Structure 1
């Protein structure tokens, strides 16, 4: 049973980041001299949210299914919620670029549906994070948190609700869609934010010696 809060904290941080992106995208009024600003905020929200969803599929669902006593039902419920959010994200993209199938919707309805779907998804994601944190040892939780961050770097940047999400077919689908999405992001000039670099641990004493860069804590310096 884990004692560290690293995985839950990572999930909470990601959810807060995505909620912030959603708030920015909803306030998409752009000035006349910068008409693309609204699109950039929406693109950033779509990309970061899609990449996180794909990363959760790749990193958290396999151990949840294997290690948790009720992992099968938990993963099933999560996937239902995740796919529902992906469908709403696809509506946002279609609405943004003027699809004829979106003419009966207004932006207020679109964002309202996204907000509801995201809240439901975050509840299911939080449950998986809590259950894994209560079940796995600290070392495994630390590895999962690091893998979750790294997986976003190689995740598709667009929603794909109807491609496989789990198992070997899910792995292949994510790799293919990552390459396809990168091509179309470049071709369409979409704004895809770069992931925040993972914080590096401070070097140990031996590394400091090798680099010739000794560092002293405040207590030592006070003495």
Structure 2
């Protein structure tokens, strides 16, 4: 009998959130007063785009899978969507603060990043639990949820949309409309969304690829060559 892999979804989600956390911290630690005045824009947009794409893809793929496969999947899917909305609302505040919107008047950078950090961690916890249980209940004939998640992320909105429908046909249509709008503004603003993470590919990316994807992960630097 063919063996069914049981941990690819869990491992992929773990790798994705590791990258999202790195991008959040990189954006939060960028100080325009010490660096280029516009240095905060690319790193913050990179975080917002990658996080928005991932949670939209997770909503489209993991929630229906949980409802079908898990005994308490309907309730957990509802809880996950509610948490995704909270994360998107926090990211919308980051975006508003970045571009000087009146919606973020009175907010400090530290407060908006604290909220985003808390909601991203909470989303990570719920998604990790869903992935773990889906992996454990995977049956022969089930789709490759990891691949579906990756492909959905390629066609997901690149900005937070906390107030649009997230479920069912209305949710799918809302994501399609949001994607078209986001692509228009991304093109108009020269904003480029990094490619979704594939955990088994990430460690093999060269430095040029990492630079072009705005995804540096030089965890194991080569030792400095002693100067002569």
The normalised TM-score by structure 2 is: 0.80
2:102 is aligned with 1:91? no
Matching residue within 106, 117, 126 for 2:119:
117
2:135 is aligned with 1:149? no
Q: Deviations over 1:60-88 (max 9, x none)?
A: 11110111100111111111111100000
Structure 2 CA distance for partners of 1:2 and 1:73, relative to 1, 3 Å: farther
Structure number with higher helix proportion: 1
2:58 is aligned with 1:56? yes
Which has the higher mean CA deviation after the structures are superposed, 129-138 or 102-111? 129-138
2:187 is aligned with 1:183? no
- Match of residue 132 from structure 2: 130
Q: Deviations over 1:104-125 (max 9, x none)?
A: 1100111111111111111111
Structure 2 CA distance for partners of 1:138 and 1:25, relative to 1, 3 Å: farther
Give the distance between the partners of 2:5 and 2:145, measured in 1 at CA: 14
Secondary structure at 1:157 match in 2: coil
* Residue 100 of structure 1, CA deviation: 2.1
Secondary structure at 1:173 match in 2: helix
- Match of residue 72 from structure 1: 74
Q: Any conservation in 1 of the 2:16–2:199 contact (CA below 8 Å)?
A: no
Q: Deviations over 1:144-196 (max 9, x none)?
A: 00111111110000111111112111111111111110001122333422345
Which has the higher mean CA deviation after the structures are superposed, 88-97 or 180-189? 180-189
Give the distance between the partners of 2:126 and 2:90, measured in 1 at CA: 17
Structure 2 CA distance for partners of 1:76 and 1:195, relative to 1, 3 Å: closer
Give the distance between the partners of 1:13 and 1:154, measured in 2 at CA: 20
Q: Any conservation in 2 of the 1:25–1:41 contact (CA below 8 Å)?
A: yes
* Residue 140 of structure 1, CA deviation: 2.8
Give the distance between the partners of 1:66 and 1:46, measured in 2 at CA: 30
Which has the higher mean CA deviation after the structures are superposed, 60-69 or 1-10? 1-10
* Residue 136 of structure 1, CA deviation: 1.3
* Residue 7 of structure 1, CA deviation: 0.6
Give the distance between the partners of 1:37 and 1:155, measured in 2 at CA: 26
- Match of residue 101 from structure 1: 103
Which has the higher mean CA deviation after the structures are superposed, 180-189 or 84-93? 180-189
Secondary structure at 1:140 match in 2: coil
Give the distance between the partners of 2:103 and 2:162, measured in 1 at CA: 18
Q: Any conservation in 2 of the 1:2–1:134 contact (CA below 8 Å)?
A: no
Q: Which has the larger radius of gyration?
A: 1
**Structure 1 residue runs of 4 or more that deviate by more than 3 Å after TM superposition:** 30-35, 194-200
